[in-house]
Structure 1
Amino acid sequence: MFTPESRPGLAALGLGPVAERVYVFLVEAGTGQTSTAVAQDVGIPLSLVGEALVLLEDQFLIVRSPTQPPQYSARPPELALDSLVLRRGDELAQVRLYAKELQSRYREFGGRGAPADLLEVVVGERQVLRHYAHLLDSAKRELSVFTMPPYVVPGRRQDVDQVLRSEREGIRRGVHYRTVYDSRAVDDPFTLGVAQDSVALGEEARLIGELPMKLLLMDRTIGFVPLRTEDPGAGSLIVRPSPLLDVLIALFESIWIRAVPMGPLADPGRPAELDERAQRVLLLMSSGLKDESIARALGTSRRTVQKHVSSIMETLGARTRFQAALLARDRGWVKPSDTDAG
């Protein structure tokens, strides 16, 4: 016979230790038992057994016979407990709605600018992932993201698939996804593959040489920032509407303008001296990406990229990559909206 102490227990379903002991006894008894027999065999006062039987019957975990004295039998536990879990889930959903109502009252009577209401810290990898997934699923209009290593869960395909599923569902809801990838992100073939999958789903993606931080913005109402860039799983800061959130939004927009689109070139005004691949190399080079990163982003070899870089520098008469980026900008080959040479 197992005891409640050896199992996780049913306290989460609102059953106290006495009710659980009575229920376990009836499960193992196999036949109907009177309240007196239960009290004697379990060793609990009859009055407490009576209260427990009423509770168990109310929760549809046991049935009472019409005989006198009545006998009690356990319903099939898996079916009965699953039903109770579902009912408790509905109750918790109502609690969440009530929490939102109370939050509105808190803001109304406690002051909308209360610091405790504007910032929240979540600690630990599990909590970070849970909140990140919640933001992906809750977005209604747009998600703006800075992506750079290290990652909370590097290379776990199941977690990546979950993110892609959330992104796919978001795009179907009409959510506009924008992601700026740090050049170090495309150095990793796995991350580059994920980026390409996201673009195929409808994400608008851009590249830049170096990002200052990781960031997620949801509907311009919530910001999600790691507490430590080098260890994003340690914890994150949730930022609600405030001057700080305004700064994060402005930061994203300023970097988005300077970043290079990952899609194909569509500007017919590019210089005739450069073919389309060389033009892409010029844009990525001017954004600060190194040859290896450019090669991965374009799906070509580093040697091919180096040939393009040499050809670009020769065409422009530049001695360094930095000078080539400046000269390309002066000639209008690279516009400020495309990238930023500095």
Structure 2
Amino acid sequence: MSKGIESIFKPYLQPKKAYEGGKGLPTDKGKKIYKLSSNENPIGQSPKAKLAIIKAIEKLDIYPDQTDIRLREALVKDFNNQLTEDQFICGNSGSELIDMILRAFIQEGDEVIYSNPCFLPYSVFSRWYGAQQVDVPLLEPDYRFDLDGICNAITDRTKIIFLTSPNNPTGSYIPKSILDAFFNSIPDNILVVYDEVYRHFADAEDYATALDYVKERRNIVGINSFSKTYGLAGQRIGYCYSTQKIAQYIRQIHKPFLLPITSIEAGIGALEDIAFIDKTVTTVLEGRNYLANAFQRLGIRFWPTQANFFLIDPPLPEFEFTDFLMEEGVMVRPVSQFGAPGKVRITIGDEEANKALVSALEKIKPRN
């Protein structure tokens, strides 16, 4: 007797709540909405990237580059020749690269460690490959990574540890001295996936990217995106870098013609647009200071951030708060789904958007 197609479904792919990205802008054009919910670039997109896309449109009838070599060569230049082209892998967003890494390393029953609150795809994507998920929560009240707790959670089945600095949605980061000690404490058969997509906005003196650890031949992959600093969220471009051994291994499952020609050209153009990068970072850092002062003045609890967003404890219940702000023309994001119940994440906008946010906050009557 037939058992039905469900009999061959993987048990760990049974229906569960999936990752839901941030909502798009409402279609009602009668009112201006400031979208401060998805950590997008506050000033738009790189002009050089935009020009490169326009030129690439003339080539839409032919296949794009078979590999990502031209974009990787541009990344070598962007990293001041500290790495070689075979240490980079490009893909359709940072999320795509996280999926690719999990597919390359994880077998059913392997363990993956992550720390809530965090970017939800770490857990959702690892489930797709049958990983056992180990959550070592961030330490409250300041949302520090519990690196000692992570070390204690390691078993002989641990394959991947996710670290994010600055972390989404908390904005917290891992100081370099603490990261150094961590790498000296973990076994050499574990891969650290180090998500640094917000690195351009980190100005702490002891902030560290994955670069130094890659140069030391540590087992680490640095994940990056063109969605934030370069303003190319709609193009879905990401890249990662690692040691030659790890990068060459992952590249074995890199599909040919993976990146559209518009993405390749946009990425190359964006990397060259230093003026736009500098303006973006300046806008974010100035906005970060402005909003921090406003939150303090209004008595709104917030967490220090090294990213282009704030995590706050809203003065109203989270959904009441987000609905109120939407009525005032400001779109922000509740982050219970990220493991931070009751909290809200607010992207730093341009000067006009930030002032609109503060104006809306000033209208709220705090709960008793």
Q: Same fold (TM over 0.5)?
A: no
Q: TM-score, normalised by structure 2?
A: 0.26
Q: Report the structure, 1 or 2, having the larger helix content.
A: 1
Higher relative contact order (CA 8 A, sep 6+): 2
